Amino acid sequence: MSSRKKTLLKVIILGDSGVGKTSLMQQFVNKKFSHQYKATIGADFLTKELPIDDKTVTMQIWDTAGQERFQSLGVAFYRGADCCILVYDVNNAKSFESLLAWKDEFLIQANVSLPETFPFIVIGNKIDIDENKRVVSYKKAAQVCQQLGNVPYFETSAKDGINVEEAFDVVSRNALQQEEANDEFNDDYNDAINIHLDGEAGNCTC
């Protein structure tokens, strides 16, 4: 191995069940869409090599299960993340309301060192569906994202491949920034297991 480590960006996709997390990942990585994706159990994993400016990075994407029951295993997947994508369905109000809960859940379980600066982005998916069925307006969503801490917001159709590239481009840039910040922070950054994790997570809920 070379002395300079390959740049790996770890990205987590979160959001309610059925909002299109798997479809987004598949559209971004494989440029395809299918109606036949099964419900994700635990988390699925894909990677993609990306050019960012003059360097090539590898993005590792964890597409997680949306059902609440699976949240307890987030720890196994969230740790060491460089960016977190929060997805909702613009035609489903509840999935929009869950965004904040997903963000908090992530911060707790990922044990992020500087929660205020950790990069999130929000994606409103399924904009291909009939405009009449839409229940969350762009304006409302953009406003909430601002309240969440100026989180970048994109509206996409994973089905038609609309805006997916653009969203992931921001994801990769923000993730790279985070990764480099982490690197400076932590000389020997190698995803080591944080032995304090359990204790800390437990304490703060007391």
Partner 1 sequence: MPQKKYMEVPSDEPRGRNISSYFRTLSIKSKSSDEVGLNHVVPAPGTPVSRLQTLKNSPESHRHVGADSDDDWNANVDSFDSPPPKHIEHIPRRSGSVHSLGPGLVMSQANTSGPLRRTPQLEASPQLEALYPSLTPARESPGMRASPGRDPAPDDLATSAQIEELNALNAKFLRFKKVITADNVNLAELKRLSWNGIPRELRAVSWQLLLGYLPTNASRRSDALARKRAEYTDGVAQVLGADHTRDTAMWHQIAIDVPRTTQHIKLYTYAATQAALQRILYLWAVRHPASGYVQGINDLCTPFFQTFLASHAPDVELCDPALLPRATMDAVEADTFWCLTKLLDTIQDNYIHEQPGILRQVRELEGLVARIDAELVVHLRAQGVEFMQFAFRWMNCLLMRELNLEMVVRMWDTYLSETPLGFATFHVYVCAAFLVKFADELKDMEFQEVIMFLQNPPTRDWGVKNMELMMSEAFIWQSLYKNAAAHLRA
Return d(Cα 84, Cα 119) in angstroms, integer: 7
Q: Tell me if 152 sits within 8 A of 87, measured CB to CB.
A: no
At residue 195, what is the residue type? I
Q: How far is the CB of 48 from partner 1 (least distance, A)?
A: 11
List the interface residues with partner 1, window 185-204 (CB under 8 A): 190-191
Among 32, 35, 55, 139, binds partner 1 (CB under 8 A): 35
Q: Which of the stretches 23-31, 64-72, 113-121, 131-139 binds partner 1 when contact is defined by CB under 8 A?
A: 64-72
Q: Does 46 bind partner 1 (CB under 8 A)?
A: yes
Return d(Cα 58, Cα 46) in angstroms, integer: 10
List the interface residues with partner 1, window 77-106 (CB under 8 A): 77
Phi, psi of 93 (to 5 degrees): -65, -40
Q: Does 76 bind partner 1 (CB under 8 A)?
A: yes
Return d(Cα 129, Cα 157) in angstroms, integer: 9
Among 5, 30, 47, 198, binds partner 1 (CB under 8 A): 47
How many whole angstroms from its chain centre is CA 60? 11
Q: How far is the CB of 112 from partner 1 (least distance, A)?
A: 18
Residue 177 CB partners (closer than 8 Å, separation 6+): 119
Q: How far is the CB of 99 from partner 1 (least distance, A)?
A: 17
Residues that bind partner 1 (CB under 8 A): 17-18, 35-39, 41-47, 58, 60, 65, 67, 69-70, 72-73, 76-77, 190-191
